[in-house]
Structures are given as structure tokens and as C-alpha cells.
Chains A and B, each alone.
Chain A
Amino acid sequence: MKQLLLFSSQFGAKIVLNPELVLERSKRYYLVSERLKKLARGNFYAAGLYLGKIKNGVFFPSFNLLNMLVDVAENKVILDKKAAWLFICGRDVFRTGIMRVYGARGKGAFTLVLNDFGECLGFGRIIHSLDDEDARVVIQNVLDVGDFLRREK
């Protein structure tokens, strides 16, 4: 729970979760409704909204969590169609593919990556200032929705 909030804060986002409704199973975290909580027996495989998992001490967010952050995060970039497609294919982001920037622009910051419909495609880390006109690749892909296909392989 602490790591989840810490992760969210990297995007300048504060989310409020009722700890009573966050269930943990095998280091995976789920947000459930009151009704679901009453039905969920201890040995469930998955329940409610999967938020993310902790592996070797590192928090890995789910796409549900990233979606929850979209409205409250400060750091986000909007990509044009071509850059959005390349991003979900696992590629990093070229400065020229960015249509709009919200929040952080400096190296090291984490930012959500959205398409031109405002849908969250994943997140990345800024590796060159977004104002650096000489830089080509500016955001390193950390996680993108193409992961759904890679997981099944």
C-alpha cells in the first residue's frame, strides 16, 4: 500500500484508497467494493480491480492503477498517432512525437503517456529534457499496454 502511494506520487498524483478495501494476495494488490469484499474468500486468485504487485521489493503497477492516475497526475504527455503506435510496440518516445506536455519536463521524472484520445498507453521516464531541441529520444518506455501481448507469450 505504501509502495503503491509512493509510485503514484512520482507522477505528482495523490490517490486516496480506503485501506480496508485493498486486499493483498501473493504480493498482488486488489481494490474491491464492500460487496466484493464480503464474498471474497481468502484463497481467491484475483478480485476486484488489480492495482499492481511487488516483486523483489519493487512495485509494478497495473494498467488499472495507471488509469486511475490519469485524472490526478501532474506529469503526462500526449503523443501523436505514430508515436503512440510505436510506444505500444515497446519503443521509446521521440521529442517530435509529443503533442502536449503537462507537468514535469526535466530529466529523471516519470510521466504518464497518453494517446490523442487521452487514453493511457503506459508510462515512461524522461531521459532528456523535453525542452532540449537537440534531443531525439526523450522518454524511455517503462511500461506500455503492448505488455498484454508480451505476457501471453
Chain B
Amino acid sequence: MAISRLLEKFLFTVKQFRLMSGRDFFINRYLQLGWEFRGIKARQAIRINQTNAKGKSILERLLSVGVKLEKIPFLDSGYWVSGSKVSVGATAEYLLGLYSVQEAAAQIPPALFSDLKGKTVLDACAAPGGKTVEVSDLMGNTGVVVALDVSKKRLAALANHLERCHFSNAVVYNMDARSASKLNLKFDKILLDAPCSGNFASDPFWFKRRTLKDVERNSALQKELLCEAEKCLVPGGELIYSTCSLEPEENELNMDWAVKNLNLQIKEINCYGEKGLTDVFGQTLDPSVAYCRRMWPGLTQGFFVCKLTKRGG
């Protein structure tokens, strides 16, 4: 009896897994959200590190070693690699910290902060540090960046990035961002580049790997991170939330939840991407969610970004 119940439970789980995962399942969801699936691979891109590259003809230098670049129209310092005889992650210019290898959409979140110079910034889920370096660069190496991550291994990569790019304004902790308030600090700006389910454009095995259960688990973790971030933000402070997931549970639905449950409001932003969805699988969301930006894979990988501020500033 007990065995047959166990078997039944197992078969039910398998059925649920089949129903809530797989390529067709997700592609159908995207269609319901208004996007027709196209198999796309994210293009390689770099970001010029302005603090270090000042006065250096970095584009010419890269061209002279066989790296052809194409300016990304919606980014200040971003270039697509349109052809290269060498690995862009191994040139002297890269090793000297004059640029970083960073996908186009991933360069957007730090650029959405206003006036970073001299500020106290939290990079809550920071490793391997692509955006920490970008934030430090946008701050002109002034102020302070507090960078947290739960993975010590990934923090080693972050520390290497900071050393390679010679930034000196960061302090890094191996810490769960859900306890960030234990640092007893208040931040002017918080970057929450949340752990997420990822997307098929940057992971060829994505459809095989992911189920709706992962999405739901990540969504719950992201809510906890948002709660803690809000606690640590000064009134009027800015919070940039981003994921490289296409799933609304990790994006628009979380932002809708945040404006309804936390002391946060969504701000209008002017960047690449489509308006955030306000009608998700029949559910109508707060109209301000439209201010978010959703990037379906195309010119960039799949991505989502939102700027929030804490009320009362």
C-alpha cells in the first residue's frame, strides 16, 4: 500500500515536471506574453573601463591586435565584438584593466543610477563582479561599494576583477544579502542583480535544466532579497533590480509585489528594452510596472531591469 502510494506520488511528480518544464512549455508561456520564440545566442560584448582608459586610444589598440568592434548604440561604453583574431578575454589591454568582457544587457543596470560619485553603494549579489567593476568605474573610484556574495569561490573572481581594473573603493564580504542589515549601514544606492533562473540565450541547455519550480524558488528568494535591500536603503535612495530571467515570476510579478508590500516605488527609466508587462497570464499588475524594461533575446540576451526608489526621501 505504502509502496503504491509512493509510486503514485513519484509518477505525479514526473507528470508535474513534464507539464511545467521543457522547451514547449516555456516557449508557449513566452507566446502568451506576446513574444514569438527565436533561437538566439547572446553576442559577445566588451565595456571600456573609462577610469583606466582615459587618454588611451583603446579602440585603435584593440584593432591593431585584430579585434573589430562595433559601438552598441544604447550604451555609453559598450561595444560588440564583431570579429577577433584573438580571445578578447586575454589581450594585454584586458589584463591591464582597460576594458571588461560584459554582455550588452548586463551593462545596463549600473548605468541607471543617477549621480554615483562619492556615494555609499551596496552591490548585494556581486560575484563574479562584472557590475561591481562597472559601478566603481562609474563612481570614478570614489565613495564606497560594499559587495556581497554567498559564494566564496565566485568572490575570488570578483577580487581578481577589482585587482585587474585597479579599483580601490570596494569592500567585499562573503555574506548572504538577506542579512545585509547586520552590517549596520545605510546605502544611497543598491544594485540587486538577483540570482535567477537565467535564460536560453546565454545557456544552451536552459530548456533541459529548468522547471517552473526553479522559477518559483528563485522568485521567493528574490522577494527576500528585495525586503532586505529596502531595509538598508536611505529614504529617497535608489534600488536597481535586475535578472537575466525571462520569467515574469522573477520580474514583473516581483516588482508588482514590491510596490504593494515594501516602501518602494518604480521610477521611469530610459534605456534599451520593451515596457514591463502589466498583464501577466490574466493578472493585471500595478501600472508603474510598465516603467520596467524587459529585453527579449535579440540584440541582447534575455534580461529585465527596474529602478525603484524608497519613499520618503
Contacts and interface: CB of A to CB of B under 8 A. Distances in A.
A27 to B, nearest CB: 15
Contact of A40 (B56, B152, B171): B171
Given A36-B144, A84-B92, A88-B92, A45 B169 contact: no
Main secondary structure of the interface of A (DSSP, over half): mixed
B279 to A, nearest CB: 43
Interface string A25-50: 00000011101100111011111111
A119 to B, nearest CB: 5
B261 to A, nearest CB: 29
Nearest to A120: B96
A2 interface: no
Contacts of A41: 173, 183
A63 B163 contact: yes
B95 interface: yes
Given A36-B144, A117-B56, A50 B170 contact: no
Contacts of A67: 166
A46 B159 contact: yes
A46 B171 contact: yes
Contacts of A39: 120, 144, 146, 171, 185
Interface residues of B, number: 29
B95 A47 contact: no
Contact of A44 (B56, B158, B164, B173): B173
B169 A36 contact: yes
Contacts of B163: 50, 62-64, 148
A44 B172 contact: yes
A121 B96 CA distance: 8
A4 interface: no
A152 interface: yes
Most chain-A Cβ atoms within 10 A of its Cβ — which of B168, B170, B173, B183?
B168
Contacts of B168: 31-33, 36, 48-49, 64
A149 interface: yes
25 contacts: A32-B171, A36-B168, A36-B169, A36-B171, A39-B120, A39-B146, A39-B171, A44-B171, A44-B172, A45-B152, A46-B158, A46-B172, A47-B170, A48-B168, A48-B170, A50-B162, A62-B163, A63-B163, A63-B166, A67-B166, A115-B92, A119-B92, A145-B92, A145-B95, A149-B90
3 smallest CB-CB distances across A and B, nearest first, come from: A49-B168, A145-B95, A46-B172
Given A46-B170, A46-B172, 14 more contacts: A35-B144, A36-B168, A45-B152, A46-B171, A47-B170, A49-B166, A49-B168, A50-B162, A62-B163, A67-B166, A119-B92, A146-B90, A148-B163, A149-B89
